[in-house]
Structure 1
């Protein structure tokens, strides 16, 4: 049986942490679908737009050899994504493990046979660290 995997992210200022989770995810499934967060969802959820436009971030993720399909993530509703895409496994950074939100998602998905797989968060780099450095260098200019 073909195993379909799914993960999501903003993928702003693409870095080794992003690459690590995508590589690990592909090792766990036959087909990897990646939801790239739209600018609008990022702004409503995080309170800011990404540095890199959605179109460019989508193209970057689509071009990676381990990604079979990249799709817009327009909603935080993981169940709606499952209904649309039909994945068997969802991959998440372990910084979310044990949170109320992910405990609920994990329990809900267990009832329909979808497993949540947590991967180690890459602590040495993140988009937040890069964003802070860029803001310092540019004096706050550079974000869209």
Structure 2
């Protein structure tokens, strides 16, 4: 069985999330998704997600092409997570291009293009501007 692993915050879930997860799943037989913890998201973006880590994990685990979900608590533990879940492929969005090449000795690393013209940050900014 070929296991694929990917990571993300997956806040304010949208079609771009579905697209990247579905494409990631196509690289193997089993897709494992690490959902960034609330604290990890704060350290990356200086804000907490709109939805709690439990809700985001529940949303991701409900998708038919996702086999397993776990809580990602540190960017530095990527290799540990890959080994722990037995993944042979790491898939990330191309906004992370080159940032995880250091795990290439453990698995294949693939960077996929993001869905154009949609991002959680932009959605949150639009909603905030309308609410003012």
TM (normalized to structure 1)? 0.86
- In the other structure, the counterpart of 2:30 is 31
* Structure 1: gaps spanning 5 or more residues: 140-144
Q: Does 1:46 align with 2:48?
A: no
What 5-or-longer segments of structure 2 have no aligned partner? none
Q: How many residues align?
A: 131
Matched, 1:80 2:80: yes
User: Alpha-carbon deviation of 1:109?
Assistant: 2.4
Give the match for residue 142 of structure 1: none
Superposed, 1:35-114 pairs within 5 Å as: 35-77=34-76, 78-98=78-98, 102=99, 105-106=100-101, 108-112=102-106, 114=107
Aligned: 1:130 with 2:129: no
Q: What RMSD in Å do the two structures reach over aligned CA positions?
A: 1.2
Larger radius of gyration: 1
Paired residue secondary structure (1:42): helix
Taking structure 2 as the reference length, the TM-score comes to: 0.93
Superposition deviation, residue 120 in structure 1: 1.1
